[in-house]
Amino acid sequence: MKYSNPVVPGFFPDPSVCRVEDTYYLVCSSFNYFPGVPLFESKDLVNWSPIGHVLTRKSQLDLTDSPTNGGIYAPTIRYHQGRFYMVTTNVDHGGNFYVWTDNIYGEWSDPIWVDQDGIDPSFYFEGDTAYFMSNGTDDEGKSGICQCTLDIKTGKKLTPTKCIWQGAGGRYLEGPHLYKVADKYLLVASEGGTEYGHMLVCAKSDQIYGPYENDPDNPILTNRNLGGYQIQGCGHADLVSDLKGNWWFIHLAFRQLDRWQQQHVTGREVYLVPVTFIDGWPKVGHDGTTRAQFETDRIASDVSQSPVPNLTLANSQIGNQWLFLQNPDLANYDLSQLPEQVGLQGTTVTMDAAKDSPTFLGTQQRGIAFTLKTKVQLTAGEAGITAYMTDEQHYDLAVRKTATGFELFRRIRLGEARQEDHLISLPSDTDQLEVTLILTGSPDQYSFTAATQGQTYQLGTATTKYLSSEVAGNFTGVMLGIYAQKSADAASSWANFSQLVYQNQD
């Protein structure tokens, strides 16, 4: 069959995968969004269904004052002796920890903390021994890929931490994973930074603590030299075998807005490439590159890759497809009328806030072309839809109550520049306004449309690239969402959102 990349489009970075019998499970980074660590399952590696999140309680995930580039970094998922483990880093609150569950569809444990620095932690199990590694510093102060053994029940270190590999010579060594393939230990990591120079490297050894021999073909996967190719930034991979014994890498990459426009807004996404071992070394993808399509007989010919589904309040869930910023105050959310509508109570915490949690629900922008549409009922304050990259980079289309009625407007926030324009006054003799808000996206621009009282209004466009990771200087992707907020002197009220639809159009 022929499949297309990305297999999970949108802001789902740092993927990790494991297989249990005939089912694959995938986790990704979530940064300062709540719940944390999205969880997917698949039977065929190309169709992935969201089944929830790993970190669903504040006791597991403290995001107090976590910025957009903070919170949860690269997780690893592993299955050992009937139990799932997910290990990750909360870079703002506590460092490295892991949680476990015996039911992948149920609740996970509270965190078990690991007294080891670094980020991008990973587990490797051999017999009853649990090996923990991260890209950090060992007990003698040597930096690189560092490893120790743990008491898996307590997280206590059983052995000193030892640096086992310092990479293949590239900068920003990160994302380590360890495997055993053909009686050799295979250590895979990334270098070059999670940007255009990103690359996957590996080494192998007869002994788990090394010494490790670098693959003579390093980097084994990179698109850094594919100029004019939309897929870039390949790296941070996890290796998995299928039921037939074939090997695959699940890895991150991103799509530029087009071939020659070197910005991306959909974040780092999930890609799939075949792997073949020759003389013990992995040969990856298409001559060491990732392409938009692969044709393979490894996946059954009757498997069909499904497009990204449209999201509505009826076919999606708050806390699964729709996320909060930082730890939310659930008193500001009325979910009692789902799936017909969701209520948001505005507070003085706005979408510009670097701290605290605004009243917001967002989903990943999964296509470069899309439409987000909703109907809003408002009596006071402000409510709208947003294309949100960070608190300093977002575009809003909103309605607010004024002294004489209501007002439609567009807001652009780009760093220190903040502008509200296309103001349209809507005199009203009632205390409530109902308005349809529409946000559309294309490679070049976002467009803003509103409809109310029998009239349709065009509220301009805004350039896409200014919400890109390259301009924003962060590691996430654009989230598309709804929000409510108010000024300090405004009355408190609820905004009701109905007919909420996200439509992917790639």
Domain boundary among 295, 324, 343: 295
Catalytic residue among 14, 191, 391, 396: 14
Is 172 within the bounds of a domain? yes
pLDDT, one tens digit per residue, over 282-330 is: 999 999 999 999 999 999 999 999 999 999 999 999 999 999 999 999 9
Q: What is the mean pLDDT of residues 59-77?
A: 97
In this structure, the answer to whether residues 137 and 255 fall within a common structural domain is: yes
Distance CA 481, CA 503 (A): 13
In this structure, the answer to whether residues 97 and 234 fall within a common structural domain is: yes
What domain count does the chain have? Answer: 2
In this structure, the answer to whether residues 69 and 210 fall within a common structural domain is: yes
Strand partners, 52: 39
Distance of CA 96 to the CA centre of its chain: 19
Is 304 within the bounds of a domain? no
pLDDT band at 427 (very low <50, low <70, confident <90, very high): confident
In this structure, the answer to whether residues 265 and 336 fall within a common structural domain is: no
Token code pair at residue 42: 């698949």
For residue 107, indicate whether it is catalytic.
no
In this structure, the answer to whether residues 331 and 262 fall within a common structural domain is: no
Q: Output the pLDDT for position 44.
A: 98
- Give the CA-trace dihedral at 207, 235, 319, 327, to 10 degrees: 80
For residue 62, indicate whether it is catalytic.
no
Amino acid letter at 202?
Answer: C
In this structure, the answer to whether residues 218 and 363 fall within a common structural domain is: no
Distance CA 479, CA 11 (A): 8
CATH classification of the domain holding 141: 2.115.10.20
| Domain carrying residue 97 | 2-295
- Secondary structure (3-state) at 237: strand
CATH classification of the domain holding 467: 2.60.120.200
Token code pair at residue 331: 């008193």
Residue 428 has pLDDT above 80, yes or no: no
In this structure, the answer to whether residues 234 and 164 fall within a common structural domain is: yes
Domain boundary among 251, 271, 295: 295
Is 126 within the bounds of a domain? yes
Phi, psi of 466 (to 5 degrees): -75, -10
Q: Output the pLDDT for position 431.
A: 87
**376 contact partners, CB below 8 Å, separation of at least 6:** 383, 384, 399, 434, 435, 436, 437, 482, 495, 496, 497
The more confident residue out of 404 and 466 is 466
Is 179 within the bounds of a domain? yes
pLDDT band at 155 (very low <50, low <70, confident <90, very high): very high
CA angle at residue 29 from 217 to 194, to 5 degrees? Answer: 40
Catalytic residue among 44, 62, 120, 174: 174
In this structure, the answer to whether residues 42 and 14 fall within a common structural domain is: yes
pLDDT band at 230 (very low <50, low <70, confident <90, very high): very high
In this structure, the answer to whether residues 9 and 150 fall within a common structural domain is: yes
Residue 448 has pLDDT above 80, yes or no: yes
Residue 60 has pLDDT above 90, yes or no: yes
pLDDT, one tens digit per residue, over 13-38 is: 999 999 999 999 999 999 999 999 99
Amino acid letter at 476?
Answer: T
Is 300 within the bounds of a domain? no
Could you tell me how many residues make up the chain? 506
pLDDT, one tens digit per residue, over 342-352 is: 999 999 999 99
Is 368 within the bounds of a domain? yes
In this structure, the answer to whether residues 419 and 355 fall within a common structural domain is: yes
Residue 491 has pLDDT above 80, yes or no: no
Distance CA 78, CA 292 (A): 28
pLDDT, one tens digit per residue, over 362-409 is: 999 999 999 999 999 999 999 999 999 999 999 999 999 998 899 999
Is 303 within the bounds of a domain? no
Token code pair at residue 357: 């949690």
Sign, CA dihedral 11-13-18-22, equals: positive
Is 301 within the bounds of a domain? no
Domain boundary among 267, 295, 323: 295
Q: Output the pLDDT for position 224.
A: 96
In this structure, the answer to whether residues 23 and 70 fall within a common structural domain is: yes
In this structure, the answer to whether residues 37 and 118 fall within a common structural domain is: yes
Roughly how many angstroms between the first and final C-alpha of the chain, as a whole number? 21
